[in-house]
Structure 1
Amino acid sequence: ELTGISSEPEIINDLNSIKLLYKKENSNIRIEEYLQELRDELVTFDNTINTVGQNSSKYEKELEEKQNLLNKIVVNYELLLPEITSEIEKLRQYQNQFKNISEDLRKNKGVQKLNKLGAEQDIKSIQNICPTCTQEVKDLLPSDINHTPMRLDDNIKYLESQLAMMEVYISGQKKLITDKRAKSELYQQTSMKLRKEIRSLKTELVEDSRVPSVVEIEEKFSLNQRINFYGKTIEKFESLKNDLIPLIEEHIEIQSAVSKLPKLNLSEQDANKIIDLENNFVSYLQKFGYTSKSFNSIKISRDNYFPIVDELYSIKFDSSASDFIRSIWAFTISLMKTSVNYNGNHPQFLMFDEPKQQDASLESFKSFLKELSKFKEQQMIVFASFENSDETFNESTEKIEFSLNRINETLIKPIK
């Protein structure tokens, strides 16, 4: 087991805090300590090998101890298996609860969104007023039920807290299952080792008392093998730790560079880049025939720099399937155009694989190809089948400057 390294990037000030542990039945020890135990055990063997007769009393006692230990481990293993099954079932229940809460939260946020849009557009039903007779629509619960419904915002906060709590439960349950499975595997490995040793001892005890002890020879050989294996493992482990030094230094440099970035405000040039990206994106949406949302409601998020609608939601949630494809075209081209205008780090290379999806209209696709053809200094590659129609191809590329590489056979096919 490896300890001392986080799953997230961090600066490791002391490489000695990174340890490789050897799992024993009741505890974990450093692998260096385990190697020393093996070496100490090897020292107890002298250069001579005892006979079966000389070891018979010792092996009879060992045989009884190992059989008792095996019985204990088998009982513990059999008790552990139903526990693991029970914990897995509990995890499944937690995951189902998480799924149900997530669905309730999604629905509540949908209602919240509808209420917000309804308030902006003065929809009567959102204000609990009948759109036909304009009378107030009262609470539909029977009047004799004393019940105060939770406000929508409070309900969303409550569901979010429940969701966070379930995430903690699920994480803890997964760790518990992992630990118990590791324990069961340790029981299995130990029982297999004990059975092998018991067989060897039984065979040894029926041998001629004058012959050398095979068990003693095997023990000494096994000890040497393990000492060599763990010695090489430690050498490799130390080498890997040293490989972390340049990574740590690079991480420190990156952190230093990040700390020098503006904390609250972007530079004037960066702010202008985002504005231009936003303008380019909306302009392309108009050219490609996007209709799902008002162009005035479409912005570029200042948090993650992806397109959003009404300053709240990703554009993919408010767009039809074909319009979402148009937004992908627009955003991809806008990124490159903005980078070109500001001499940015874009590789100035775009590749599209069958971009005409989700029944995007031929007119929209032609506009897309036309905009790509305007980039004379950049490389554009479009893989497209044009619905396997020469007529569609000719109509889509009419009056557009391009270079054609026609592929007349399938690219993916069985190897003969």
Structure 2
Amino acid sequence: MGIGMNIRAIKVRLATVKGDFGFKFEFGRGLTVIRGSNSSGKSTLFNCLMYGLGMDELVGGRGEKVLPYAVKEFFNHGEERVEVAASEVFVELENSSGASITLRRAIRDTARDTKLVEIFEGGHLTVPSAGLGSPKPTFLFDPGSAKKQEGFHHFLETFIGYQLPSVATTSGGMTKLYLQAVFAALAVEQKRGWTDYIANIPFYGIRDARTRVTEFLLGLSVFERQAKRAELDADSMAIDTNWRRAYDNLCQAAAVNGVVIEGLSVTPTALLDASSVQFVKSNGQTKISLAEHVGQLRAEHAALGAKAEAYGKASGAEALQELDSASEELQRLSVLHERATANLALQKASQEELCTLLAEANEDLDRNKTALKLRDLGAQMEIDVATDHCPTCHQPVDDTLLFGIVSGPQMDLRTNIEYLESQRRMLQRQINGSQEEIRQSEIAVADVAARLAAKHDYRNSLRGDVSTGAAESRAIVRRQIQIELELSNLAGFETQAATLLINLEGAAARLAVNQAARRALPKDAYSEQDLLRIGLFEKNFRSNASSFGYESAEIRDIRISTDTLTPTLSDLELREIITKPKASLIADSSASDFVRLIWSYLLALYQTSATRGFEGNHPGVLLMDEPGQHSMRSSSQHALLQLLSGEGKLQSIVAASFDENESVFKEATAGLKFKLIEWEGKVIQPLQ
């Protein structure tokens, strides 16, 4: 199914004690002009149409509150006030496949909620039938209305032929490019719709929503790349989570067993080689591998076994000698523990000092950046002191925050910011390294403390052996049990470590694939084909602006920015305002000229999307409420209607008062083919 939508008709029915009131109009397939005075109900018709399409957010809110009281509370019929008992709106739509549907939505009803939109098969407004048949109920605004089968916006999206992409949010996640955001470029209401190129986009947390809508309507290929990049980002986050979980579990198991890990990165790396990861035991001074440590423990256990067999034959002198040896070892371990503890305290103190320096650097950096920002803004406003000159005596002013505080050469603000940035990066690296040193020192302190406690128990047991003259050494048995327990724990650690290293290797392999896929993505935001579409969009925009009589700038100098996809002049977004071009952050354009730019922009979106070979996602419908803002010349309005009428496959519905002047209306529509909708008096009248 292709992409497209045509609005065939609208009907609003108000049930009253005086009978049914309201209005019913059919729209042409090309240009339809809705002519009415400012108080006749022209905007009522437009807003009811938006309400019936479920696009009430584009006219100021959700629900029936966006509609005037005349369609939900009361209206005047002649001199009589008529109360509205119930009211509803019908809208008939047709898609590119020729399928027709009729939508029904309550405005005021005791039984049906305004969030309910009923869908009837067939066009019941243009081809009256005996009955509407059974409706398909859908809902609005509640969670899932854009994604669930029962959601109205999901239904309308499918009916038009859309598959709306996912886009980045301001919070860093992804969300759908909601249909209401797209419709903001298709329907422009009177009050706020002419304030921006695509105004009134409801807030859904979409980053650069205006640009995303333009990219979608032009059919740019950025969404495929964004989806791929988002997929890679999600995979990166999963890799990082898996890596850190395995790393933390490994570090925790190592710390419990007094093991230090070397050769393993805290952050994921695709270059992990499990064979290069080393497990060592450290006493704060010397390091040995875990395998060597296990060998030493087993040798000690065997020696203790031999000593136990000969214990009964040993002399008292030998027992005392063993006691002296244990006491010396205990004293040596006490010294090691004291040194390791002191070293750990020094490392922690050093880290605290580094953190203080980092906080000061961040504070200085923030002050300098703020000063530079204020100076740059002042320079743009031509303030003398911002251009390094005193406004009173016109003498040079030093570009520094330290003037008068220090003597000698001083760095200017930009140089100082660069210096502080490098200092901050250096301090952060030092803090990261300090954290790793502290972690290893804590493991070493815990290991020495455990060995110290074990040796203390062994010496006490030896003293008991000597004092009691036991035939069997309780000290040897105690030490053997300690060794056996440590060996068992280390064996369990090695098994756990092997499993965790396999997990880390898997994460490293996934990261390598992820990085390769990222390198394969195009580096530029837009492909060559996208740039051709943007170039055609720019050409159409300039042509339209010229046709509409835009005068505030040279049209040939206007460009469509590849950053925002909006018109720019000298790299500044082209809007209305200002009296001094030099002091302005945006280019000059009168209010009416800015409205001409909006006309040009919205029409160029369709023209580009409808060009053979450059087909985009514009559904071929454009609604404008009072486009002749700011006393627009009738010649400009004629140019707009002429271009709209000339687009054979574009359905355009324009509601305008034409300054309530017959001559202005005739001049604006002279020689054009269009369907006219107008009425006498108020739009709400008795229904036939």
1:230 aligned residue: 490
Verify: 1:164 aligned to 2:425, yes or no.
yes
2:267 aligned residue: 8
Contact 2:389 2:397 in 1 (8 A): no
1:64 aligned residue: 324
Amino acid at match of 1:189: A
Within the candidate set 267, 290, 300, 1:31 is matched to: 290
Within the candidate set 178, 191, 203, 2:452 is matched to: 191
2:517 aligned residue: 257
Amino acid at match of 1:204: D
Question: What is the distance in 2 between the residues matched to 1:82 and 1:38?
Answer: 28
Relative to structure 1, the CA distance from residue 259 to residue 202 in structure 2 (aligned partners, 3 Å threshold; closer, same or farther) is same
Amino acid at match of 1:154: T
1:218 aligned residue: 478
Amino acid at match of 1:151: D
Relative to structure 1, the CA distance from residue 188 to residue 36 in structure 2 (aligned partners, 3 Å threshold; closer, same or farther) is closer
Contact 2:308 2:473 in 1 (8 A): no
Within the candidate set 128, 151, 154, 2:412 is matched to: 151
Amino acid at match of 1:28: K
Relative to structure 1, the CA distance from residue 98 to residue 195 in structure 2 (aligned partners, 3 Å threshold; closer, same or farther) is same
2:358 aligned residue: 98
Contact 2:268 2:507 in 1 (8 A): no
Contact 2:281 2:287 in 1 (8 A): yes
Question: What is the distance in 1 between the residues matched to 2:403 and 2:507?
Answer: 67
**By how many angstroms is 1:95 displaced?**
2.5
2:499 aligned residue: 239
Q: Secondary structure at the match of 1:206?
A: helix
Once the two structures are superposed, the pairs formed by residues 321-336 of structure 1 within 5 Å of their partners are none
**By how many angstroms is 1:206 displaced?**
1.6
2:394 aligned residue: 136
Amino acid at match of 2:513: E
**By how many angstroms is 1:181 displaced?**
4.2
Verify: 1:73 aligned to 2:333, yes or no.
yes
Question: What is the distance in 2 between the residues matched to 1:272 and 1:56?
Answer: 99
Relative to structure 1, the CA distance from residue 179 to residue 136 in structure 2 (aligned partners, 3 Å threshold; closer, same or farther) is same
Deviation string, structure 1 residues 285-331 (Cα, Å, up to 9, x no partner):
xxxxxxxxxxxxxx9989xxxxxxx99xxxxxxxxxxxxxxxxxxxx
**By how many angstroms is 1:204 displaced?**
0.8
Amino acid at match of 2:455: L
Contact 2:283 2:444 in 1 (8 A): no
Relative to structure 1, the CA distance from residue 273 to residue 65 in structure 2 (aligned partners, 3 Å threshold; closer, same or farther) is farther
**By how many angstroms is 1:61 displaced?**
1.8
Question: What is the distance in 2 between the residues matched to 1:102 and 1:273?
Answer: 45
Relative to structure 1, the CA distance from residue 127 to residue 10 in structure 2 (aligned partners, 3 Å threshold; closer, same or farther) is closer
1:117 aligned residue: 377
Contact 2:282 2:444 in 1 (8 A): no
Question: What is the distance in 2 between the residues matched to 1:178 and 1:9?
Answer: 19
Amino acid at match of 1:156: I
Relative to structure 1, the CA distance from residue 190 to residue 223 in structure 2 (aligned partners, 3 Å threshold; closer, same or farther) is closer
**By how many angstroms is 1:272 displaced?**
11
**By how many angstroms is 1:273 displaced?**
13
2:685 aligned residue: none
**By how many angstroms is 1:155 displaced?**
2.0
Contact 2:262 2:278 in 1 (8 A): yes
Greater mean alpha carbon deviation, residues 234-243 or residues 167-176: 167-176
Amino acid at match of 2:476: E
Relative to structure 1, the CA distance from residue 248 to residue 97 in structure 2 (aligned partners, 3 Å threshold; closer, same or farther) is closer
Once the two structures are superposed, the pairs formed by residues 264-413 of structure 1 within 5 Å of their partners are 264=524, 266-267=526-527
Q: Secondary structure at the match of 2:281?
A: strand
Relative to structure 1, the CA distance from residue 99 to residue 272 in structure 2 (aligned partners, 3 Å threshold; closer, same or farther) is farther
Amino acid at match of 1:11: A
Question: What is the distance in 2 between the residues matched to 1:242 and 1:146?
Answer: 60
**By how many angstroms is 1:250 displaced?**
2.5
Amino acid at match of 1:65: S
Deviation string, structure 1 residues 46-82 (Cα, Å, up to 9, x no partner):
5974444537444322211221232233345445555
**By how many angstroms is 1:2 displaced?**
2.3
Once the two structures are superposed, the pairs formed by residues 44-55 of structure 1 within 5 Å of their partners are 44=303, 45=305, 49-52=309-312, 54=314
TM-score (norm 1): 0.54
Question: What is the distance in 2 between the residues matched to 1:32 and 1:168?
Answer: 32
Amino acid at match of 1:117: L
1:292 aligned residue: none
Relative to structure 1, the CA distance from residue 194 to residue 238 in structure 2 (aligned partners, 3 Å threshold; closer, same or farther) is same
Relative to structure 1, the CA distance from residue 94 to residue 218 in structure 2 (aligned partners, 3 Å threshold; closer, same or farther) is closer
Relative to structure 1, the CA distance from residue 245 to residue 163 in structure 2 (aligned partners, 3 Å threshold; closer, same or farther) is closer
1:201 aligned residue: 462
Contact 2:375 2:386 in 1 (8 A): yes
Contact 1:49 1:213 in 2 (8 A): no
Contact 2:283 2:336 in 1 (8 A): no
Relative to structure 1, the CA distance from residue 54 to residue 99 in structure 2 (aligned partners, 3 Å threshold; closer, same or farther) is same
Larger proportion of strand: 2
Q: Secondary structure at the match of 2:468?
A: coil
Relative to structure 1, the CA distance from residue 79 to residue 125 in structure 2 (aligned partners, 3 Å threshold; closer, same or farther) is same
Question: What is the distance in 2 between the residues matched to 1:48 and 1:81?
Answer: 35
TM-score (norm 2): 0.35
Relative to structure 1, the CA distance from residue 200 to residue 87 in structure 2 (aligned partners, 3 Å threshold; closer, same or farther) is same
Question: What is the distance in 1 between the residues matched to 2:441 and 2:457?
Answer: 24
**By how many angstroms is 1:113 displaced?**
0.9
Larger Rg: 2
Relative to structure 1, the CA distance from residue 82 to residue 219 in structure 2 (aligned partners, 3 Å threshold; closer, same or farther) is closer
Q: Secondary structure at the match of 1:225?
A: helix
**By how many angstroms is 1:121 displaced?**
2.0
Contact 1:55 1:213 in 2 (8 A): no
**By how many angstroms is 1:116 displaced?**
1.4
Question: What is the distance in 1 between the residues matched to 2:495 and 2:403?
Answer: 76
Relative to structure 1, the CA distance from residue 243 to residue 55 in structure 2 (aligned partners, 3 Å threshold; closer, same or farther) is farther
Question: What is the distance in 2 between the residues matched to 1:245 and 1:166?
Answer: 31
Relative to structure 1, the CA distance from residue 67 to residue 81 in structure 2 (aligned partners, 3 Å threshold; closer, same or farther) is same
Relative to structure 1, the CA distance from residue 5 to residue 300 in structure 2 (aligned partners, 3 Å threshold; closer, same or farther) is farther
**By how many angstroms is 1:199 displaced?**
0.4
Contact 2:282 2:288 in 1 (8 A): yes
Contact 1:52 1:205 in 2 (8 A): no
Aligned length: 278
How well do the aligned residues superpose, as a CA RMSD in angstroms?
4.2
Percent identical pairs in the alignment equals: 21
**By how many angstroms is 1:220 displaced?**
3.3
Relative to structure 1, the CA distance from residue 193 to residue 139 in structure 2 (aligned partners, 3 Å threshold; closer, same or farther) is same
Contact 1:20 1:31 in 2 (8 A): yes
Question: What is the distance in 1 between the residues matched to 2:361 and 2:482?
Answer: 55
Deviation string, structure 1 residues 328-386 (Cα, Å, up to 9, x no partner):
xxxxxxxxxxxxxx99xxxxxxxxxxxxxxxxxxxxxxxxxxxxxxxxxxxxxxxxxxx
Question: What is the distance in 1 between the residues matched to 2:384 and 2:372?
Answer: 15
